[in-house]
Amino acid sequence: MSIRSDPLIGVVRPPHRAASLALWLDRESVFSWLMMTLPLLFLAAFVGYPFVYGILLSLQDRPVAQPGHFVGLKNFIADYHDPIFWRVAINTFVYTAVATLLKMVGGLGLALAMNQHFRMKNLVRAVLLLPFIVPTVLSTVAWMWMLDPAFSVVNRILIGLGWPRPGPSWLGNPILAMCSIIVINTWRGLPFYGITLLAGLQTVPPELYEAATIDGASGWQRFRYVTLPLLQPIILIVTLFSVIFTFADFQLVYVLTHGGPQNATQLFATYAFDIGMGAGQLGLGASVALTMLPALALLIVALTLYLRKQ
């Protein structure tokens, strides 16, 4: 419509200078770019510039509060020869893969359980989302207390059920510490998965199930051949989101274990923080953070293209 109205205005108004400026401003492209200038400048200054500057930093030897000098790929070579760095890489991949899988399976279970008729469903749905809403740091502190070496309520319940004293050392044992951060990440992210998939389930037309039932499909077959294929796009989007933000997770680990014991739960983000902020090696820290980039870029491009296609 707006295409048709443009020439009309041109015909009605005499071609004064002011009018032609107004006409120029009225063009879709001019209006759009003028409108977007401020937010784009903001993003360029606070995302674009730091991003490029981060790459430059990673190529410098740059102790905090001192001028840096260019060292080429020395930081990345140092990372390559750092055994902790490889530990961190393995940790991050294990953490991301296991937590995402648990969230996916658990979230699907939650969505299926919630996709039935029962009373107070909206209230239950609202309450179930609480772990996702509440600031991560605050709920993680609660988990820290639940897994406390001396007064863990989890252990006291386990001991009450007959587990030998003193119960597992959740945050002191390297493997259990990794399990703990995975469980807490799952606890927080599962409702998001569940409620999003529930919304997807509710768009599946009931006729499809009826048709499948008439054709003799069992409950499992209906799930496998009707529900899953229709949910696939939503599962894909949610999973990509979840992978990106689990891969780059910082808060949970920083609060719960600080990467310990013996770097057993150290992730890329917390390790970059320790080196950059703790040890004051901005350049080396930036290089650790940037090693996340290839995997992240792949995921981000995949998701962006997919969202665009939708």
Partner 1 sequence: MAQGMVPGMVTGHGWLERTLRVWLPVGCFLVLALFPFYWMAITSIKPNAELYNKNLMPLLVRNPTLKHYVDLLTETSFLLWTWNTMLVAVVSTAISLVLGTMLAYPLARMRFAGAGLIAMTVAAVYLVPQPLLFLPLADVINRLDLGNTLTSVILTYPTMLVPFCAWLLLGYFKTVPKELEEAARIDGAGRLQTMRQIFLPLCIPGFISAGIFAFTLSQNEFLYALIFLTKSSVRTVPVGVIAELIRGDVFYWGQLMAGALLGSIPVALIYSFFVEHYVAGLTSGSVKG
Q: State which of positions 202-241 bind partner 1 (CB under 8 A).
A: 204, 206, 209-210, 213, 219-220, 222-223, 227, 234, 237-238, 241
Nearest 5°: the CA angle 286, 291, 293 is 100
Q: For partner 1, how many residues bind (rule: CB under 8 A)? A: 119
Residues 6 or more apart whose Cβ sits within 8 Å of residue 86: none
Site for partner 1 in 249-308 (CB under 8 A): 250-251, 254-255, 268-269, 272-273, 276-277, 282, 285-286, 289-290, 292-293, 296, 299-301, 303-304, 307-308
| Binding residue (CB under 8 A) for partner 1 from 35, 77, 90, 101 | 35
Q: Which residues of 277-296 are buried (b: 16+ CB within 10 A; e: fewer)?
A: eeeebbbbbbbbbbbbeebb
Find the binding residues for partner 1 in span 42-81 (CB under 8 A): 42-43, 46-47, 49-51, 53-54, 57
Of residues 161-190, which lie at the interface with partner 1 (CB under 8 A)? 187, 189
Q: Which of 242, 263, 265, 266 binds partner 1 (CB under 8 A)?
A: 242
Cβ distance to partner 1 smaller for residue 32 or 232: 32
* 1 forms part of the interface with partner 1 (CB under 8 A): yes
Of 14 and 135, nearer to partner 1 (C-beta) is: 135
Least Cβ distance, residue 83 to partner 1 (angstroms): 21
Distances (CA, A) of 291 to 2, 212, 244, 259: 48, 48, 14, 18
Contacts of 79 (CB under 8 A, 6+ apart): 85, 284, 287, 288, 291
* DSSP 3-state of 63: strand
Asked if 17 interacts with partner 1 (CB under 8 A), we say: no
Of the pair 179, 204, the CB lying nearest partner 1 is at 204
Q: Is the dihedral of CA 26, 31, 35, 41 positive or negative?
A: negative
Q: Which is nearer to partner 1, 144 or 176 (CB)?
A: 144
Residue 263 vs residues 29, 175, 274: alpha-carbon distances, Å:
53, 11, 11
